């Protein structure tokens, strides 16, 4: 093991600010004011370290006040995306030769800078994607965790690896980077997932072209600045916001792109996978695709469960960040003997969720991210009204922002559309199961397999679910959201993706290839 590794304390999760202390509240309010004062600022592309302004701009709106423009971000042309890939390929020749220690140092410095500016990143998340204070702070700490965790992991991969001794030979296995990676994150963890995917690619010695979501390009621009401040050389991280269908397809299909690290919807993920499988003229490798995609996550409530805990877990998992998490509970499957009691208690619990402006400290649920999300979720609510009984919610609130009520539809058939398709908003379907067998059958009946949770006091049910509940992240007697870096490595089965287990020990391997070296001793 390297000496650097020995000097570094073992990884622990960053403590989350609870905003219970007046000092923390004051600092958050000051950060919100500072971020607001910069509304409308312009953010350029970054290609080979050069800032490039384009005429075409992406306007990033505050979803709680649609008339407010958080920032205006340059939109890359095809030629600029091409140039970014070329410069990333040229920079790869030097960046790949740097030591794992040096690259890890960049991540440690980036983590320190983010810790210093945590409230500013919290405030950006509030304004650009509509997170409430607690959700925003949870995300910023997760971003810090990814930097700290992957820096340590890089040191481990850069160290010696066990190999069986063989007489007369000196043998070695070492890990080397892949090349230029297209990093394509979603808007819903605009900071943490973007930082995690980018940091993992860079710390292993790859160079990156980053195409952020058009719903959260300002946060992405700030992260690019932060990496530069942390000492990343020009050309290692190139920033090319733009249209998915033009810029996205170009970077995915380019012969110099070596791998694609994608997190987003199933539809876009499958499209990328297909495009990446085609060999472009001049391409010298099979592209590697890491695609983390959607979910349709169930919480099973057994007849013997602590019902209050189950109701709380379902409500928090379904409506935290307005249901816009891949891990959000979008279906509650309840055993028949407790179904009616569960539904009544859930109605009372959901009624307590306050919907409003997430920049205010006590807001429970903010807006959905965009007009297109608002329309798509509203359509699903209409479909749901025909597929079950509307228990609560179902309406839009005002027209200042994209606000929807938390919506629960009960008595839904397991194969209904709202039960099987990802809605990605504050809509929960509730299903009655005849017994525990039936509950597990319903839980496994979609094409997804991301997260799932079971509330029960019966050890035998826990043991069965451990084997039979087919999801990448399974939880017992707790919410289905809130995976912690290092503690709950994250990734899903089936159409939820390639099960990359972000925040786990296997993750960096996805950005590396191993070289086996053998020398005959004389």
Alpha helices in 38-131 (DSSP H): 78-95, 100-116, 118-129
> CA nearest 365: which of 401, 410, 417, 326?
401
Q: Are strands 329-335 and 297-301 parallel, antiparallel or unpaired?
A: parallel
Choosing from 424, 455, 469, 511, the residue that interacts with ligand NAD (CB under 6 A) is 424
Judged by beta carbon, residue 429 or residue 456, the one nearer ligand NAD is 429
Catalytic residue (choose from 292, 335, 387, 422): 292
- Does 188 help bind ligand NAD (rule: CB under 6 A)? yes
- Does 294 help bind ligand NAD (rule: CB under 6 A)? yes
Per-residue x/- track, 87-126, ligand NAD (CB under 6 A)? ----------------------------------------
- Does 84 help bind ligand NAD (rule: CB under 6 A)? no
CB of 99 to ligand NAD, least distance (A): 30
CB of 146 to ligand NAD, least distance (A): 13
Q: Are 211 and 183 in contact (CB under 8 A)?
A: yes
CB of 11 to ligand NAD, least distance (A): 20
- Does 448 help bind ligand NAD (rule: CB under 6 A)? no
- Does 139 help bind ligand NAD (rule: CB under 6 A)? no
Among the candidate windows 45-53, 144-152, 185-193, 353-361, which touches ligand NAD by CB under 6 A? 185-193
**Secondary structure tally for the chain: helices H, strands E:** 16, 19
Residue found under tokens 């390009």: 217
For 1, 150, 379, the CA distances from 11, given in Å and listed in that order, are 16, 10, 44
Got the DSSP string for 464-476? HHHHHS--SEEEE
Choosing from 197, 272, 289, 430, the residue that interacts with ligand NAD (CB under 6 A) is 272
Choosing from 17, 61, 271, 461, the residue that interacts with ligand NAD (CB under 6 A) is 271
- Does 63 help bind ligand NAD (rule: CB under 6 A)? no
- Does 135 help bind ligand NAD (rule: CB under 6 A)? no
Among the candidate windows 85-93, 122-130, 267-275, 314-322, which touches ligand NAD by CB under 6 A? 267-275
Active site residue 326: yes
Edge-to-edge strand list for the sheet holding 451-455: 389-392, 407-410, 427-433, 329-335, 297-301, 451-455, 473-476
Q: Is the dihedral of CA 270, 268, 52, 33 positive or negative?
A: negative
Structure tokens at 257: 């792109």
> CA nearest 366: which of 69, 29, 64, 36?
64
Choosing from 248, 320, 366, 414, the residue that interacts with ligand NAD (CB under 6 A) is 248
- Does 189 help bind ligand NAD (rule: CB under 6 A)? yes
- Does 82 help bind ligand NAD (rule: CB under 6 A)? no
CB of 160 to ligand NAD, least distance (A): 32
> CA nearest 221: which of 251, 245, 190, 247?
190
- Does 268 help bind ligand NAD (rule: CB under 6 A)? yes
CB of 85 to ligand NAD, least distance (A): 14
- Does 384 help bind ligand NAD (rule: CB under 6 A)? no
CB of 249 to ligand NAD, least distance (A): 5
Give backbone dihedrals phi and psi of 89, rounded to 5 degrees, phi first. Answer: -65, -40
Footprint of ligand NAD on 310-329 (CB under 6 A)? 326
- Does 503 help bind ligand NAD (rule: CB under 6 A)? no
Indicate the SS3 state at residue 53.
Answer: coil
Choosing from 449, 497, 503, 504, the residue that interacts with ligand NAD (CB under 6 A) is 497
- Does 213 help bind ligand NAD (rule: CB under 6 A)? yes
Torsion of CA 208, 109, 185, 183, to 10 degrees: 10
Among the candidate windows 60-68, 170-178, 292-300, 331-339, which touches ligand NAD by CB under 6 A? 292-300
Structure tokens at 65: 């006040």
Q: Are 284 and 258 in contact (CB under 8 A)?
A: no
379-398 burial, b if ≥16 CB within 10 A, otherwise e?
ebbebbeebbeebbbbeeee
Catalytic residue (choose from 148, 326, 329, 405): 326
Judged by beta carbon, residue 326 or residue 333, the one nearer ligand NAD is 326
Rounded Cα gap, residues 107 and 204, in angstroms: 11
Rounded Cα gap, residues 241 and 220, in angstroms: 9
Beta bridge pairs of residue 473: 451
Q: Are 451 and 422 in contact (CB under 8 A)?
A: no
- Does 184 help bind ligand NAD (rule: CB under 6 A)? yes
- Does 504 help bind ligand NAD (rule: CB under 6 A)? no
- Does 233 help bind ligand NAD (rule: CB under 6 A)? no
Among the candidate windows 114-122, 289-297, 356-364, 390-398, which touches ligand NAD by CB under 6 A? 289-297
Active site residue 392: no
Among the candidate windows 8-16, 49-57, 287-295, 312-320, which touches ligand NAD by CB under 6 A? 287-295
Q: Are 492 and 451 in contact (CB under 8 A)?
A: yes
Which residues are marked as active site? Answer: 292, 326
Which residues here bind ligand NAD, judged by CB under 6 A?
184-189, 193, 211-214, 244-245, 248-249, 252, 263-265, 268, 271-272, 292-295, 326, 422, 424, 450, 492, 496-497
């Amino acid at each position: 093991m390297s000496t650097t590794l020995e000097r570094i304390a073992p990884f622990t999760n960053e403590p989350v600010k609870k905003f219970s202390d007046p000092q923390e509240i004051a600092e958050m309010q000051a950060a919100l004011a500072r971020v607001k004062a910069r509304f409308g600022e312009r953010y350029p592309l970054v290609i080979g370290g050069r800032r490039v302004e384009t005429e075409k701009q992406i306007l990033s709106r505050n979803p709680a006040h649609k008339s407010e423009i958080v920032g205006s971000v340059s939109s890359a042309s095809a030629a600029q995306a091409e140039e970014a890939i070329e410069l990333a390929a040229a920079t790869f020749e030097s960046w790949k030769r740097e030591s794992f220690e040096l690259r890890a140092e960049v991540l440690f410095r980036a983590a320190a800078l983010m810790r210093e500016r945590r409230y500013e990143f919290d405030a950006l998340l509030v304004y650009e994607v509509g997170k409430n204070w607690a959700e925003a702070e949870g995300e910023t700490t997760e971003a810090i965790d990814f930097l700290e965790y992957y820096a340590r992991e890089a040191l481990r991969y850069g160290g010696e690896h066990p190999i069986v001794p063989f007489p007369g030979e000196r043998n070695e296995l070492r890990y080397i980077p892949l090349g230029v990676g297209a990093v394509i994150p979603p808007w819903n963890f605009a900071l943490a997932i973007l930082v995690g995917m980018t940091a993992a690619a860079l710390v292993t010695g790859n160079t990156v072209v980053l195409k952020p979501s058009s719903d959260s390009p300002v946060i992405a621009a700030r992260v690019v600045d932060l990496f530069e401040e942390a000492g990343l050389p020009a050309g290692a991280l190139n920033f090319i916001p733009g249209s998915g269908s033009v810029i996205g397809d170009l970077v995915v299909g380019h012969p110099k792109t070596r791998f694609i690290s994608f997190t987003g919807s199933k539809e876009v993920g499958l499209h990328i996978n297909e495009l990446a499988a085609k060999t472009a003229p001049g391409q010298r490798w099979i592209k590697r695709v890491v695609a983390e995609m959607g979910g349709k996550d169930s919480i099973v409530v057994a007849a013997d469960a602590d019902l209050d805990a189950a109701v709380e877990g379902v409500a928090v998992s379904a409506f935290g960040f307005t249901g816009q998490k891949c891990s959000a509970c979008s279906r509650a499957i309840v055993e028949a003997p407790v179904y009616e009691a569960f539904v009544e208690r859930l109605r009372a619990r959901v009624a307590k969720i306050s919907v409003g402006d997430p920049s205010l400290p006590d807001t429970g649920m903010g807006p959905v991210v965009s007009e297109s999300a608002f329309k798509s979720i509203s359509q699903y609510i209409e479909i749901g009204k025909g597929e079950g009984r509307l228990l609560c919610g179902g309406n839009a609130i005002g027209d200042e922002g994209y606000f929807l009520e938390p919506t629960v539809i009960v008595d839904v058939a397991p194969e209904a559309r709202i039960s099987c398709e990802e809605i990605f908003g504050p809509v929960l379907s509730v299903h009655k199961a005849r017994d525990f067998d039936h509950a597990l059958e319903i839980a496994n009946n979609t094409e997804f397999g991301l997260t799932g949770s079971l509330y029960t006091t019966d050890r035998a049910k826990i043991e069965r679910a451990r084997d039979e509940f087919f999801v990448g992240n399974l939880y017992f007697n707790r919410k289905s959201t809130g995976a912690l870096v290092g503690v709950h490595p994250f990734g899903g089965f089936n159409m939820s993706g390639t099960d990359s287990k972000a925040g786990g020990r296997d993750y960096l391997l996805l950005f590396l290839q191993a070289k086996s070296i053998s020398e005959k001793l004389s």
